[in-house]
Amino acid sequence: MPFRHPDRSDDLIARIEYEVRERLEEAIDYVCLEALVRERRDRGLPPPVADSVDDRRAYTDNVLTFLRLLGREIVTTEAQPRPAASSHSTADEQARLIGAQVALARTLPDYWQRFETISEAYLAGRASATHGDASGREGRGLLARLFGRR
């Protein structure tokens, strides 16, 4: 693990970056898995499974949709440099969008409040797009294990 020397400032900066990225990925993972579970439950379908190519694709679509929404909705009064919009693959676009959110999370004092507001609206919008508000919640740990995420 590269962060064993707390007295080195470059390691501290790298650790902060890592911690923010990890927290953000976990939060996005929760929102997108929750959206997938709610949508499938509302449509009367079985829960998603890790081995399903279609379920993985639906999860990835949720991640990209949510990241794009965050990119549009979390705006600042400061000019934030935006990465180029073109990407060669879904993974490239996802990495670029997450990187932009990490930068915003590190600089905006109210980032997590904005994130929560947008997350709630996203989940509510996904629920109303299917069959109305779904009130049940799946445990994040189980879903994370299903999709091989931490």
**Confidence check: pLDDT of 28 > 50:** yes
Cα(76)–Cα(53) distance, integer angstroms: 37
Tell me the pLDDT tens digit for each residue of 40-68: 999 999 989 888 999 999 999 999 999 99
Report the pLDDT value the prediction gives residue 131, as an integer from 0 to 100.
46
Nearest-CA neighbor of 68 among 36, 38, 100?
100
pLDDT exceeds 90 at position 8: no
Tell me what the mean pLDDT of segment 128-133 comes to.
Answer: 51
* In the chain, where the domains are located: 9-146
Per-residue pLDDT at 148? 52
Exposed / middle / buried, residue 103 (Cβ in 10 Å: 0-12, 13-18, 19+): middle
pLDDT (tens digit per residue) in 83-99: 445 446 777 899 999 99
